[in-house]
Amino acid sequence: MAMGLFSLFKKADTLPPLTDDEQARLAANSELERQHQQARQREIARATAMKIDAIESAMEADIFNLPEPAWGSQRPARAASAGDNDVPDDFPTTLLLSEELPLAAADDCAPVVEEIAILYANGQAAVAQQMLTEAVAATSGHNSDRSAWWMLFDLYQASGQHDAFDNLSIDYASTFETSPPPWQAPAQLAAASPDWAGLTPTAALSGVLDGHIAPQLERLRQQADASPVLRLEFSRVTAVDAEGCTLLLATLRQLQAGQRELILVGAPALAARLRDGIAVGRRDDGEAPWLLLLELLQLQNREKEFEHAAMDYCVTFEVSPPSFAPPHKVAMAPAQHVSASPDRFMLPPIIEHQLGPLLPGIRQYAEAYPALVFDCSRLTRIDYPSAIQLHGVLQALADAEPGRKIAFRDVNHLVTALLRLLGYASLARIYPHKY
């Protein structure tokens, strides 16, 4: 009897093997549960990023209202013309450099970062990406150095990997509890004018946006004939009126019709100022402020906000609103809070196989300006030999004129690591774009 009882328990303790169908269902349920958990984690990360965005937006005026170092110089006397009244007569030839804006961090030159920077510079992007992915995985889950993350963000943008960028953004927000960088692929603009480099024609608007901006805009339109890339700065605009809106709107449309590549500085702030000055049902200032707002929202590719503003415009003026069209050859640049020289020398998207025709342009720029500011916002990669040659050229210019100021602005973090490795920090200021 006892043997029978123990035998019964033994049989009950040993379950029959699962059938193939049962094993498949169990595996499917496990995978489904894993996907649900992963999706939940991503939703939490997104919610965290949204909350942080709201906090950062509210605190932006207090935290980030630090002056940008006013590099550069006055335009040479032969280049001055009507419309330069936003630059005072006593504007110094070379302005002092503020230490408030962060330079490239010294710890960016860790051995793994140096190796990745060299691989990427020499065209081995796939290997560099693999190493960056491994470096990022090693730092996930705890706050540590973010250099590898920033370099991977830049690599994804330069190579057009939008989905991978979005996935990394979610992980970044979850790991560091801060909002991730926005997607701004330089590769799209690089395709517009891949070989162009040189002094960027700029209209730096300031004060009241009214009829006085006409000479500046006219000069910019004339310069557009010789330059495929143009820069408009709105960060020092303090007020707007209908005439100024009409003039700026016409210029933006004309430049786009001419297939010019536009770099807009402070566009979000100007759009916010325009929005604050209009109201549904009020026609006091006419249609120009509304139409300029719609144009700026379209240039920023903010489709949902465009549609809402277009509906309000339709209700106010009882006319059909313009249709949204994705922007073409348009890039945004961060606002500048002080008078910075617009005379920047823009570097091309890719520099490789020595400087070539870029060299005469740099030397001509150095002859006209005592302070050199290189705009790297379109530069995605410079190879190792070209970087060494450029260093030699700049060193010679610095030796020929002791005290000459040299700066690299809006540098991606892959290029920043290479420049630091090659000793650029000893002769120039390097400002990577902020993440």
Strand order of the β-sheet with 372-375 is 198-199, 345-346, 372-375, 406-411, 429-432
Q: Do 229 and 263 touch, CB atoms closer than 8 A?
A: yes
For residue 225, what pLDDT band results from cuts at 50, 70 and 90?
Answer: confident
Please give the pLDDT value at position 39.
Answer: 54
Phi, psi of 77 (to 5 degrees): -55, -35
Exposed/middle/buried for residue 179 (C-beta within 10 Å: 0-12, 13-18, 19+): buried
Alpha-carbon gap, residue 95 to 179, rounded angstroms? 33
pLDDT per residue as tens digits for the range 62-113: 333 333 333 333 333 333 333 333 333 333 333 323 333 445 544 444 788 9
For residue 42, what pLDDT band results from cuts at 50, 70 and 90?
Answer: low
pLDDT per residue as tens digits for the range 148-191: 999 999 999 999 899 999 999 999 998 888 888 888 766 455 55
CA angle 307, 311, 314 (to 5 degrees): 135
Alpha-carbon gap, residue 153 to 29, rounded angstroms? 34
- Which amino acid does the sequence have at 427? L
Name the CATH code of domain 201-333 (choices 1.10.287, 1.10.3470, 3.30.70, 3.30.750): 3.30.750
| Enclosing H/E stretch for 202 | strand 202-209
- Quote the crossing angle between the two packed helices 147-158 and 162-176, to the nearest 10°: 160
| Enclosing H/E stretch for 207 | strand 202-209
Residue 198 neighbours by CB distance under 10 Å = 19
Alpha-carbon gap, residue 4 to 247, rounded angstroms? 100
The more confidently predicted of residues 122 and 93 is 122
- Which amino acid does the sequence have at 269? A
Please give the pLDDT value at position 435.
Answer: 76
Phi, psi of 196 (to 5 degrees): -80, 140
The more confidently predicted of residues 60 and 402 is 402
Please give the pLDDT value at position 196.
Answer: 74
Please give the pLDDT value at position 179.
Answer: 87
Please give the pLDDT value at position 267.
Answer: 92
Query: For strand 429-432 and strand 261-265, is the pairing parallel, antiparallel, or unpaired?
Result: unpaired
Classify the phi-psi angles of 329: left when phi > 0, otherwise alpha if psi is within -120 to 50, otherwise beta. left
pLDDT per residue as tens digits for the range 236-247: 999 999 999 999
Please give the pLDDT value at position 338.
Answer: 42
Q: Do 264 and 332 touch, CB atoms closer than 8 A?
A: yes
Alpha-carbon gap, residue 298 to 402, rounded angstroms? 46
Residue 92 neighbours by CB distance under 10 Å = 10
What residue ranges of the chain are covered by domains with CATH 3.30.750.24? 77-102+343-432
- Which amino acid does the sequence have at 159? S
Among 166, 171, 109, 162, smallest CA distance to 142 is for 171
Alpha-carbon gap, residue 270 to 249, rounded angstroms? 13
Strand order of the β-sheet with 330-333 is 202-209, 229-240, 261-265, 330-333
Please give the pLDDT value at position 16.
Answer: 58
Q: Do 70 and 341 touch, CB atoms closer than 8 A?
A: yes
Exposed/middle/buried for residue 352 (C-beta within 10 Å: 0-12, 13-18, 19+): middle
The domain defined by 77-102+343-432 folds into Transcription Regulator spoIIAA (3.30.750)
Query: For strand 198-199 and strand 345-346, is the pairing parallel, antiparallel, or unpaired?
Result: antiparallel
Among 391, 389, 273, 266, smallest CA distance to 337 is for 266
pLDDT per residue as tens digits for the range 247-284: 999 999 999 998 888 889 889 999 999 999 999 999 98
